[in-house]
Structure 1
Amino acid sequence: MTLQRTPFGLRMPKDLQDWIKMKAGREDRSQNYVINQILMKAMADEHAKA
């Protein structure tokens, strides 16, 4: 059974949104995937410093 997640609205500056869109296109990934990867890396980096 697939886990159902509630959509999460995220507002961001236009230049950041454009960068995410460009990065997702270059990597042939969704914008959601790119945002998740960036956040997961930031979390891992923060835990590594602790």
Structure 2
Amino acid sequence: MHRNPHGENGYDLVVAAEDDGIHAVVGDLAASGVSVQPIQVDLRTPKGSTR
């Protein structure tokens, strides 16, 4: 597993992707002690970018 410098500094993470693969990375990131919020959204669209 890789080290996550964001979690070590007390940051929470919001991760976004357009497909359901986003949920697969949450476990790896959360295992390093980070609070992770996955959002499945297409940021290329106006609706997705305002979500």
TM class by shorter chain equals under 0.3
Structure number, greater radius of gyration: 1
Higher helix share: 1
